[in-house]
């Protein structure tokens, strides 16, 4: 049973979705309840995994392997290390919260909505759990279809444009990744004489520098689109603005992390020399993302767009941390991914709640809501502070580790300049986030409609409470995440060091 636990967790949402497909139309309303029960059960399973996880061990746990396509050496091979474990738990927490909040927000086609969300959850969990590159690719691509439906069917007025842009952008990236996957696979076959698609086996491939460059760039484009890194970010605001609330929460909370996870799990360990070679470039793109995203967020009038661009900025820190090729900053990047998932996910929830009440997302239409909706305002302000990176809340830890780690990272070429520029990004972050709070909640009530806005009801309150508690808890107890993540990050660096002398140098120069 213990062996199948992980697979059970991955596929439980899909099984629930199949059940809901056969739900008669007249009982459609109960689809939400069934879906929610399925997601909570999934969360319970993931909690079980989290508690049973051996902290401090670097290897994969809960491993299960079944031959799938022996001809190609492809196995159904799943397992978790610390990095995927925390991301899995983030997914299983955000999904039921997002669904629970959407109860009243979907007027029709409730069944399809719930089924899409459940299918999406299985695909996300599968991507994090997969230890076979073929399986990883299958789950990775499967994510697209439910998201396409969520945005395209349940989205706003420009939903079709947004969903096509999202789908084609992401698919173009993942098709490039497919070339990299095939190249790695063929190289492994050449070097070792047998076919295998398992990720740990592929780590052992030692390839020429020019091939590494090709493989790295192909992977990087796919993951950079997903994160999104600066020149590839244009799909994100459209997708976020048009997506329904639950879609935005999952998109910001989990899907963007796929990119960072992919870089860490595949791009860097498969091509360490190329990673070192491109580290300054990637770091620079990260810094540009931080500043450019922050600047764009600053000038937005639409709340959802503001939060979307703030995502670009926050994920820039993740990119910088990954590019530094220092374990400390890399652990920080993983922590930042979790923190961003919690805070930005929660921001999209709160913005969604406001939109549902006022049917507008323009900042100018609000003002003075703090007096009318105190609970909403309290949650909003706390989440905003977490997002800015106030010490004691979750956003601080990740950014701190990333900046401290990158400050002495020789791989970045100009680490001190990069860090200095990123700090400006943090300041800008405080500016736009506090402007957001001020415009919505502070000042006088200028519009009569705003007086009728109701505060959080018990269901919304409970849903919002989850990220609020997590933001505080992880801010005070970051070790819950870090103790699980760090050994796995170290293991990935061991893999890289075994193949590349450059990485050893890069790490030795780290600032203590």
For binding to other proteins (CB under 8 A), which residues are involved? 68-72, 137-138, 141-142, 144-145, 148-149, 152-153, 159-160, 163-164, 167-168, 171-172, 175-176, 178-179, 182-183, 185-186, 189, 214
Question: Between 144 and 279, whose beta carbon lies closer to other proteins?
Answer: 144
Q: How far apart are CA 408 and CA 396, in angstroms?
A: 19
- Report in angstroms how near the CB of residue 465 gets to other proteins at its nearest: 35
Helix axes 272-299, 479-499, angle to 10 degrees: 140
Helices 30-52 and 5-21 sit at what angle, rounded to 10 degrees?
180
Cα–Cα distance for residue pair 321/316, rounded to 1 Å: 9
Shortest distance (Å) from residue 72 CB to other proteins: 8
Q: What count of Cα atoms within 13 Å lies in the side-chain half-sphere of residue 500? A: 26
Q: Is 65 helix (H, G, I), strand (E, B) or coil?
A: strand
Nearer to other proteins, 159 or 233 (CB): 159
Q: How far is the CB of 382 from other proteins (least distance, A)?
A: 37
Nearer to other proteins, 72 or 209 (CB): 72
Kindly state the smallest distance separating residue 432's Cβ from other proteins, in Å. 33
325-to-95, 207, 436, 495 alpha-carbon distances in Å = 32, 20, 34, 13
Q: How far is the CB of 211 from other proteins (least distance, A)?
A: 10
Nearer to other proteins, 63 or 153 (CB): 153
DSSP conformation class of 62: E
Query: Cβ closer to other proteins: 124 or 315?
Result: 124
CB of 4 to other proteins, least distance (A): 18
Are residues 179 and 166 in contact, defined by beta-carbon separation less than 8 angstroms?
no
Q: Which is nearer to other proteins, 40 or 153 (CB)?
A: 153
Secondary structure class of 243 (helix, strand, coil): coil
| DSSP 8-state class, residue 451 | G
Q: Measured from the CB atom, is 43 or 77 closer to other proteins?
A: 77
Q: Of 183 and 378, which CB lies nearer to other proteins in the complex structure?
A: 183
In angstroms, the CA 91 to CA 89 distance is 5
Q: In angstroms, what is the minimal distance from the CB of 150 to other proteins?
A: 11
Question: Can you tell me which residue has the tokens 């199948």?
Answer: 4
Rounded CA separation 171/107 (Å): 30
CA distance 474 to 42: 22
Q: Are 290 and 421 a contacting pair, CB within 8 Å?
A: yes
Least spacing, CB of residue 23 vs other proteins, in Å: 13
Minimum separation from the CB atom of position 207 to other proteins (A):
13
Query: C-beta of 182: minimal distance to other proteins in Å?
Result: 4
Cis peptide before 228 (omega within 30 of 0): yes
- Euclidean distance between CA atoms 368 and 377, whole angstroms: 10
| 142-163 exposure pattern, b = at least 16 Cβ within 10 A, e = fewer | bbbebbbbbbbbbbeeebeebb
Closest CB to other proteins among residues 187, 323: 187
* 3-state DSSP assignment of residue 61: strand
Beta-bridge partner residues of 74: 69
CB of 160 to other proteins, least distance (A): 6
Q: Which is nearer to other proteins, 168 or 420 (CB)?
A: 168
360 Cβ contact list (under 8 Å, min separation 6): none
Place of tokens 């913005």: 351
Instruction: CB nearer to other proteins: give 95 or 163.
Output: 163
| Angstrom distances, CA of residue 108 to CA of 114, 286, 480 | 11, 41, 40
Length of the chain: 512
């Amino acid at each position: 049973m213990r062996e199948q636990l992980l697979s059970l967790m991955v596929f439980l949402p899909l099984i629930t979705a199949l059940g809901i497909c056969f739900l008669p139309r007249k009982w459609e309303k109960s689809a939400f309840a069934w879906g929610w029960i399925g997601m909570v059960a999934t969360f319970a399973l993931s909690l079980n995994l989290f508690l049973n996880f051996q902290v401090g061990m670097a290897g994969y746990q809960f491993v299960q392997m079944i031959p799938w396509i022996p001809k190609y050496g492809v196995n159904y091979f799943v397992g978790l290390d610390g990095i995927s474990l925390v991301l899995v738990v983030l997914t299983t927490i955000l999904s039921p919260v997002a669904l629970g909040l959407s109860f009243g927000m979907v007027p029709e086609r409730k069944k399809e909505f719930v089924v899409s969300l459940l299918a999406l959850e299985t695909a996300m969990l599968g991507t994090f759990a997969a230890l076979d590159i073929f399986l990883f690719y299958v789950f990775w691509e499967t994510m697209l279809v439910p998201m396409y439906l969520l945005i395209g069917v349940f989205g706003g007025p420009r939903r079709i444009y947004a969903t096509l842009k999202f789908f084609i952008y992401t698919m173009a990236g993942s098709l490039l990744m497919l070339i990299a996957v095939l190249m790695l696979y063929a190289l492994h076959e050449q070097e070792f004489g047998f076919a295998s698609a398992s990720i740990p086996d592929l780590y052992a491939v030692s390839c020429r520098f020019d091939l590494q460059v090709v493989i790295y760039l192909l992977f990087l484009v796919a993951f950079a689109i997903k994160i999104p890194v600066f020149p590839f970010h244009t799909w994100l605001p459209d997708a976020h603005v048009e997506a329904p609330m639950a879609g935005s929460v999952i998109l910001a909370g989990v899907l963007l992390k796929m990119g960072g996870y992919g870089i860490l799990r595949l791009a860097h360990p498969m091509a360490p020399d190329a990673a070192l070679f491109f580290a300054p470039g990637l770091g620079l793109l990260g810094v540009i993302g931080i500043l450019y995203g922050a600047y764009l967020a600053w000038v937005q009038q639409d709340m959802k767009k503001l939060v979307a661009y703030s995502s670009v900025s926050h994920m820039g820190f993740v990119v910088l941390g990954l590019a530094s090729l220092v374990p400390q900053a890399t652990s920080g990047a993983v922590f930042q991914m979790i923190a961003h998932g919690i805070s930005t996910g929660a921001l999209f929830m709160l913005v969604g709640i406001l939109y549902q009440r006022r049917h507008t997302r323009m900042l100018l239409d609000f003002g003075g809501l703090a007096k009318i909706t105190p609970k909403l305002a309290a949650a909003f302000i706390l989440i905003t502070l977490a997002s800015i990176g106030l010490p004691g809340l979750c956003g601080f830890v990740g950014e701190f580790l990333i900046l401290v780690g990158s400050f002495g990272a020789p791989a970045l070429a100009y680490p001190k300049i990069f860090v200095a520029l990123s700090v400006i990004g943090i300041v800008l972050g405080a500016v736009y986030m506090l402007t957001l709070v001020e415009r919505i909640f502070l000042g006088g009530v200028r519009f009569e409609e705003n007086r009728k806005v109701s505060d959080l009801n018990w269901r919304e309150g409970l849903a919002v409470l989850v990220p609020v508690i997590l933001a505080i808890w992880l801010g005070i107890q970051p070790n819950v995440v870090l103790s699980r993540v760090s050994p796995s990050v170290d293991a990935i660096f061991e893999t890289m060091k075994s193949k590349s002398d450059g990485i050893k140098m890069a790490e030795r120069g780290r600032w203590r």
